[in-house]
Amino acid sequence: MTTNRAPDATARLAAEVGALLGAGRRVAALRRAMEASAILLREPGDALRHSLRNEVFRQFSNAGDSYQANDFESVDYEQYELAKDLPLFRGPPLSRKTLARGDYFCVMGAAQTFGRLVRQPWPKRLSDRLDLPVLNLSRGGAGPEFFLDPRLIELARRSRFVVLQVMSGRSVGCDEYPGGRRITDHGKKTKVHRWDVLESLWNEDPKLAINYVKRWNENYLALYRRLRERIDRPITLVWVADRAPSDWKPRMLLEKLSWGSFPQLVGRQLHADVAALFDDHLELVTQPSREKPLSRSTGEPCPYFDAGKTLHAEFHYYPSTENHAQLADALVPWALGVLEPAPGHAIGL
């Protein structure tokens, strides 16, 4: 495929993908986009990348697939569909037989568990080590409330065990300032920008901001308690971030407006309270690193898009491939202890 033919090929691909999405065939549309783009990107260029992003993959923006729409050159997330009204999840998908038997383990979390920009994320590495399939229900930007969907709870309850991530606290609100979305006077849902709320409260009075953060934290803890009660399987809680839980606490708001780096609004005490709900817990504080994604088509370094459609040559916000390997290794003793109970198993890095 020569470069001067790429615009026509991209337009045809965009039309094919649009038709499949219009027919409700999200997975088929995504497979077609991924396969065809890999061929086109054998002769990569920024103009082609932007064309594929804007004309082809932008169509998936409302299909619960923002990461694949931005990372299509480097990683195939093998996404699959559980239900039409749920986002696509990272694969490989499990067979109905495997799901019915419960012969798998389940992971729930945000981008760090989804494994953004990493070809072998820690859930897949752990699966390979245990020779046990993994059901990865993680979603970028997810908070604990997302996983209270009865369908996801049922899948977790069938599994051999669950690994649950400490997620950001910024999606959790209270009655006055709800998390996620709120209903307007006109009956429509509008997104609540948590930072804007915190900034407004802090500008009025830092102590007021702290009081509301504590209420948000109480609701965050309650959501994890509900997950613990409803899943009712062996669960370990994992902290994976580039800071320790003690590096941020609500009272820091007396000095400056900050909710800490990921997982935002979660400090030492809240983390300890959440961890106490579960069978065991693990903390992995990642070291700063910069990793360059590699092209699926050429094997050479390639960029990815951020939410603003800007190309980036390397990533550091998300855990590196090495971090994922560390976390998988650290989880093996606990997982083996659950699958084959034996005294003395403990998690350690």
pTM of the model: 0.93
State the pLDDT at residue 65: 64
Distance CA 237, CA 244 (A): 15
State the pLDDT at residue 184: 60
Going along the chain from its start, the domains and CATH numbers come out as 1-83+291-318 (no CATH), 94-285+323-349 (3.40.50)
Least Cα distance to 124 among 108, 133, 101, 65 occurs for: 133
State CA 26 to chain mean position distance.
19
Distance CA 223, CA 143 (A): 9
Sequence-ordered alpha helix ranges (H) in the chain: 6-22, 26-40, 46-51, 66-70, 96-101, 111-114, 122-130, 150-158, 194-204, 206-231, 268-275, 321-339
State the pLDDT at residue 345: 42
Distance CA 84, CA 76 (A): 21
Instruction: Identify the bridge partners of residue 189 per DSSP, sorted by sequence position.
Output: 183
State the pLDDT at residue 187: 66
- The residues, ordered by sequence, that sit 6+ positions from 50 with a Cβ below 8 Å of its Cβ are 309
Mean pLDDT for back-to-back runs of 10 residues, the chain (349 residues): 72 97 96 98 97 95 76 97 95 96 97 97 98 97 96 98 97 88 66 91 97 97 98 97 97 96 97 96 93 98 92 96 98 95 48
Token pair, residue 53, equals 């992003």
User: Dihedral, CA atoms, 214, 218, 221, 227, nearest 10 degrees?
Assistant: -140
State CA 295 to chain mean position distance.
21
Contact 123, 109 (CB under 8 A): no
Is the omega angle on the peptide bond into residue 263 within 30 degrees of 0, that is, cis? Answer: yes
| Intra-chain end-to-end CA distance of the chain, in Å | 48
State the pLDDT at residue 182: 64
